[in-house]
Structure formats: structure tokens, C-alpha cells
């Protein structure tokens, strides 16, 4: 089935939405690298015992968790674009769900199996109960606490939210007009802060985790619709991008005294996510503009694009790889085990874990995931050649950001 001609629909998309948008791979690489740095430094060891430059370097990794917000905005933008461009197709649902399943499920379930095996053979110290694995198997990792089960592998919560989005949003796009979709996305953007306020007030710690971040997905939806609107010209799109970036930075600067940077205060818990998502909205739209200008080299960075291409695997396995590295170092060279405040050993641990993660993710992409991607092309009505040429994507989340509208 030929791809709908994006350029025929509106003026801004004549060069903004293309068959390949490599600048979004750069953003994906930034997002996943931020998360890996956060888990490898700030989250694991904190700042205690550090001084000078090491303390500054570790402190710089602390905001890395916001990479997930960037993935959510990218997901809302690209997945909604896929659905809008194919919603008149006869095999709309089959095509979408089949391609999502073949892209996401093989590696996801392989990681669950690895987690179960490694935790039971003593190769990692991380527990993985059958209850947690069972809930994760059906993509309920974000609500395990509702069932009295602790979160035991943190990266899975965002993938659960992505799956819920994939499950519900195609029907909304199929049934609603673009105006209806705008209204629904706007309602989500308003509802999430209100729900965060309720959860803070009622002390619902961890309940509904992830669903309260749906305003990031909703802003991505709005960006997808905006970029396909006939009344949006490139100068106006530029104004929207700059305006959203400016507004988010202004809110952060003015809101700092009131806790906008924190979750430990009511204002911060309510509005920090929204402000971050607004910044990511501006970042994605600005990157699209720069990527289609004479300055495109700024946002086309090969190393980051490589990380973007393997980001699904990196995101899924990096914590597991760090666990294996910790176990191996403790057995082979216990004097090199990283401890809080020892920056040299922390850095060594990160270099070992990150390099192994990137290598495993690369091998997984080409020797494990690729056969499923080829199958995806055949079953979705594509030729093998076209499927082979397709760029990978995924969820943090790399199924999230697979540029499927670009495929024929």
C-alpha cells in the first residue's frame, strides 16, 4: 500500500514531514543516553561523598529521567501521524497492531525471560517475583502496586503506558475528526495535572503510575495534528516552537521558588511534568524545523543517531546489563566494586556497563529483531526489500518512535 502523500495535504508538511526524519533519531539518542546516565550515576549513587568536578558531573545526570518525557512526546507525535495517514485504509487496525506487535513484543518478552532466569540463577542481585513478571507480561508494570507487588524493574512502567496508548488510541483516531482529537488531547492535558493534584492530596503514592504522564503523549498528538493542518505555515509553526520553549523555561524560572522543580511540593508535583512536556513539545518541533533548514547538520549527529536506532534495546536491557556487570566485578575484582562517593569506580562501572549495553543492543537489533522486522514487512503487505530498508524504531521506547509513516 503506498504511503499517503503528506505533501499534498498542507504547506508546512511539504518539507517538515518527510519519508525519513533523521533528526528525530538524534532526539531519541539524546533521550535514551539521558536515561542511561541517570541510572548509571545519579539514581544509583547520588551526590553524597562527592566534591568538585565529580559532584558537578554526577549532578548533571540527575535530570536524565526526563528523557522519558521526550519519548512520550515523540510517541504521541509519530504514532498519531501513522494513524492519521492510514486511517482510511481498509486494513487500518490489522496493519497497525500487527506491526506494533512484531516490533515490540519479541525483545520485550525476551528481556522478561532473561530477567526471570538471571534473578533465579544468582547472576544478578535484583529480585523478580513471578507476580511482577506476570503483571509485566500483560503490560501492567505501571500499576503493580495496585496488586501489592513492588516495582522490580523500573524501565517497564513506561513501556506499559506506551502499550495502553497503542491499544486505545487507534480507535480514537479512526472514529473522531481532527477537531475531536484536538479536544480529547487538550482534555488530557488539563486532566493530568488535576489528577496529579488529587493523588498528591490523597497520598496515593505509586498508584496509577505512568498514566498521570499522559499529557506528554497528548502534546505529541497535538503536534502531529498541527503539523498536518492546512492553515499552519512554516513561520507560524516556528512561532509555536519558540513560544512553547520560551513558556516552559519561563515557568521553570518563575516557579522555582514554589517547587516547580520538585515533586515534594504540591505545585511541583502538579506542574513539573506538564512544563517538561511543553519543553519537549518545543524541542521536537524546533528539531523538525532545524532538520529541514540549511542548519540541519546541527541536529544530524551520527553517534546520537546510532544510539537512537538501537534505543529500544538500550532502554530495555541497560539496567539488566549493569546488574550483570556488578555481579561479575564483585566476583572477579571485588576491590573495583563501585561505592557511593568513589567517583573513579563509579565511572569505571558506568563505562563497562554502558559499552556492554550498546554492544548487546546493536547485536540484538541486527541478529534478533531484524527477522521480525522482515516478517512485519511481509505480513503488512510490504515487499521484503522495502521492509529491509525500513528504519528501526521503538519505544523508549523505541517502538514509540518508529517512523512508520515513511514506509510504503
Q: Is the pLDDT of residue 365 over 50?
A: yes
CA distance 166 to 154: 20
User: Is position 351 within any domain?
Assistant: yes
User: Is position 198 within any domain?
Assistant: yes
pLDDT at position 207: 53
pLDDT in tens, 135-163: 999 999 998 988 989 999 999 999 999 99
User: Is position 408 within any domain?
Assistant: no
> 395 in helix, strand or coil?
strand
pLDDT at position 14: 58
Q: Would you say 338 and 346 are in contact if contact means Cβ atoms under 8 Å apart?
A: yes
User: Is position 185 within any domain?
Assistant: yes
pLDDT at position 262: 76
Query: What average pLDDT does range 162-174 have in this prediction?
Result: 96
Residue 391: DSSP 8-state: P
User: Is position 1 within any domain?
Assistant: no
Show the cell assigned to 198.
Answer: 488529587
Q: What percent of the chain has pLDDT over 70?
A: 88
Q: Would you say 406 and 18 are in contact if contact means Cβ atoms under 8 Å apart?
A: yes
Q: Is the pLDDT of residue 218 over 60?
A: yes
Three-class SS of 263-282: CCCHHHHHHHHHHHHHHHHH
Q: With bands split at pLDDT 50, 70 and 90, how would you rate the model's confidence at 15?
A: confident
pLDDT at position 294: 92
pLDDT mean across residues, the chain: 87
pLDDT at position 404: 37
Q: With bands split at pLDDT 50, 70 and 90, how would you rate the model's confidence at 190?
A: very high
CA distance 33 to 308: 9
Query: What average pLDDT does range 271-282 have in this prediction?
Result: 94
Q: With bands split at pLDDT 50, 70 and 90, how would you rate the model's confidence at 407?
A: very low
Q: Is the pLDDT of residue 270 over 90?
A: no
Cβ-based neighbours of 375, under 8 Å, separated by 6 or more: 102
User: Is position 281 within any domain?
Assistant: yes
Cβ-based neighbours of 223, under 8 Å, separated by 6 or more: 73, 76, 77, 281, 284, 285
Q: With bands split at pLDDT 50, 70 and 90, how would you rate the model's confidence at 308?
A: very high
Q: Is the pLDDT of residue 388 over 80?
A: no
CA distance 31 to 308: 8
Q: With bands split at pLDDT 50, 70 and 90, how would you rate the model's confidence at 277?
A: very high
Q: Is the pLDDT of residue 91 over 70?
A: yes
CA distance 362 to 317: 12
Residue range of the domain that includes 74: 6-403
pLDDT at position 364: 97
The closest alpha carbon to 80, from 185, 200, 159, 211, belongs to: 185
Show the cell assigned to 225.
Answer: 495534528
The structure's pTM equals 0.89
Q: Is the pLDDT of residue 406 over 60?
A: no
User: Is position 191 within any domain?
Assistant: yes
User: Is position 303 within any domain?
Assistant: yes
pLDDT at position 86: 93
Q: How many domains does the chain have?
A: 1
CA distance 40 to 346: 8
Amino acid at each position: 500500500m503506498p504511503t499517503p502523500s503528506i505533501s499534498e495535504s498542507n504547506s508546512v508538511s511539504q518539507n517538515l514531514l518527510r519519508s525519513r526524519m533523521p533528526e528525530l533519531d538524534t532526539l531519541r539518542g539524546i533521550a535514551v543516553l539521558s536515561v542511561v546516565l541517570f541510572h548509571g550515576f545519579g539514581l544509583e549513587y547520588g551526590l553524597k561523598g562527592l566534591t568538585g568536578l565529580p559532584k558537578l558531573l554526577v549532578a548533571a545526570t540527575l535530570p536524565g529521567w526526563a528523557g522519558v518525557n521526550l519519548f512520550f512526546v515523540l510517541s504521541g507525535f509519530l504514532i498519531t501521524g501513522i494513524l492519521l495517514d492510514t486511517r482510511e485504509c481498509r486494513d487500518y487496525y490489522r496493519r497497525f497492531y500487527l506491526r506494533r506487535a512484531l516490533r515490540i513484543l519479541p525483545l520485550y518478552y525476551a528481556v522478561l525471560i532473561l530477567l526471570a532466569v538471571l534473578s533465579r540463577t544468582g547472576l544478578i542481585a535484583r529480585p523478580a517475583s513471578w507476580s511482577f513478571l506476570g503483571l509485566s507480561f500483560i503490560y501492567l508494570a505501571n500499576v503493580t502496586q495496585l496488586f501489592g507487588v513492588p516495582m522490580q524493574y523500573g524501565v517497564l512502567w513506561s513501556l506499559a503506558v506506551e502499550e495502553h496508548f497503542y491499544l486505545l488510541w487507534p480507535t480514537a483516531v479512526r472514529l473522531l475528526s481532527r477537531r475531536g482529537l484536538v479536544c480529547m488531547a487538550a482534555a488530557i492535558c488539563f486532566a493530568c495535572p488535576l489528577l496529579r493534584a488529587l493523588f498528591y492530596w490523597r497520598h496515593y503514592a505509586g498508584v496509577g503510575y505512568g498514566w498521570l504522564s499522559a499529557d506528554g503523549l497528548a502534546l505529541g498528538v497535538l503536534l502531529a495534528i498541527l503539523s498536518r493542518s492546512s492553515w499552519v505555515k512554516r513561520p507560524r509553526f516556528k512561532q509555536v516552537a519558540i513560544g512553547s520553549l520560551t513558556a516552559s523555561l519561563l515557568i521553570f524560572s518563575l516557579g522555582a521558588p514554589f517547587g516547580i522543580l520538585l515533586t515534594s511540593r504540591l505545585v511541583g508535583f502538579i506542574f513539573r511534568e506538564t512544563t517538561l512536556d511543553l519543553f519537549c513539545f518545543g524541542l521536537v518541533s524546533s528539531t523538525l524545523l532545524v532538520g529541514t533548514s540549511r542548519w540541519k547538520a546541527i541536529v544530524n549527529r551520527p553517534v546520537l543517531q546510532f544510539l537512537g536506532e538501537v534505543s529500544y534495546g538500550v532502554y530495555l536491557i541497560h539496567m539488566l546489563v549493569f546488574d550483570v556487570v556488578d555481579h561479575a566485578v564483585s566476583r572477579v575484582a571485588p576491590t573495583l566494586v563501585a561505592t557511593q562517593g568513589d567517583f573513579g569506580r563509579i565511572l569505571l562501572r558506568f563505562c563497562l556497563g554502558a559499552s556492554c549495553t550498546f554492544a548487546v543492543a546493536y547485536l540484538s537489533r541486527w541478529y534478533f529483531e531484524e527477522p521480525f522486522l522482515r516478517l512485519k514487512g511481509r505480513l503488512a503487505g510490504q515487499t521484503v526489500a522495502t521492509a529491509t530498508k525500513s528504519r528501526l524504531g521503538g519505544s523508549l521506547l523505541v517502538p514509540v518512535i518508529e517512523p512508520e509513516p515513511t514506509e510504503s
